[in-house]
Amino acid sequence: MNSYLAAAVQMTSTPDVDKNLVEAEELIDLAVRQGAELVGLPENFSFLGTEAEKLQKAEEIAEKSEKFLKKMAQRFQVTLLGGGFPVPVEGNKAYNTALLINTNGQEIARYQKVHLFDVNIPDGIPYRESSTVMAGTQLPSVCQSDRLGNIGLSVCYDVRFPELYRHLSQQGADILFVPAAFTAYTGKDHWQVLIQARAIENTCYVVAPAQTGNHYALRQTHGHAMIVDPWGAILADAGEKPGVAIAEINPSRLKQVRQQMPSLQHRVFA
């Protein structure tokens, strides 16, 4: 593994799938022109609308999303994460699925979000992800890569469950993906500190693509796609507008932090 640049894309996705994919392509292109070799798109990159409409269009969204990711990875010769899109399953529901694609357009990792966002917060919107999404049942695996390091996947609300990331670090993860559509209400207080915590406690880089702004009706997201190093330092922050956060993934820095703070070796309880 050599040093390289990673990019966390920030979008304002809407219910218009085709428009979202055009925006995603433009931002992937922007990241690649700045030298990124690993690019992450946020949760709901291809569709962000009501739960009912998402379920109604799930088959179309899934087909277009997967085709898009494979095409973009090949065209731009990057390893590309689609941070979350619905894939229909029996029972009139869908898995919230993150997909990692290599430069040949081949799927190298798939993760179905296990923690669903059923939360009451005072922002005027009821969140019941489980009404249309089926929870995954498998912990994410770590994708081994000599070129990019070992990559672990998660999605949004997962970031509040540190045991998932401890599992990934135990499996040898160097980079943790946290693609998200974090609410504006919770994001202002919790997003940055949670991302830094997952990086620090697991001595891993965290690449966190994000949604930002107003998407439909009252639905607003926090933004601040970021990349954080294993010490918890924020290397890049996309702010509140669509764009990209780009930073170096440096194996020497990873080794240095793990030598200075060997906390993973000092665990008493597995």
What tens digit of pLDDT does each residue of 133-180 get? Answer: 999 999 999 999 989 999 999 999 999 999 999 999 999 999 999 999
Catalytic residue among 23, 37, 43, 66: 43
Mean local confidence (pLDDT), 20-28? 98
Task: Please give the pLDDT value at position 99.
Answer: 98
Specify the pTM: 0.96
What is the CB-side half-sphere exposure of residue 4 using CA atoms within 13 A?
Answer: 18
Catalytic residue among 23, 57, 156, 204: 156
Mean local confidence (pLDDT), 209-220? 91
Residue 241 a catalytic site member: no
Contact status, residue 7 vs residue 33, Cβ threshold 8 Å: no
What tokens were used for 65? 């999303």
Q: Tell me the pLDDT tens digit for each residue of 81-119.
A: 999 999 999 878 999 999 999 999 999 999 999 999 999
Q: Is the pLDDT of residue 270 over 80?
A: no
Phi, psi torsion values for 208, nearest 5 degrees = -125, 85
Task: Please give the pLDDT value at position 123.
Answer: 80
What residues does each domain of the chain span?
Answer: 4-266
4-266 CATH choice from 3.40.50.720, 1.10.287.610, 3.60.110.10, 1.20.58.100: 3.60.110.10
Give the whole-angstrom CA distance, residue 112 versus residue 98. Answer: 6
Task: Please give the pLDDT value at position 201.
Answer: 97
Task: Please give the pLDDT value at position 39.
Answer: 98
Task: Please give the pLDDT value at position 124.
Answer: 78
Task: Please give the pLDDT value at position 128.
Answer: 92
Residue 113 a catalytic site member: yes
Residue 143 a catalytic site member: no
Closest CA to 148 of 46, 32, 5: 5
Whole-number average pLDDT of the chain: 96
Catalytic residue among 54, 57, 70, 113: 113
- CA 215 to chain centroid, in Å, comes to 18
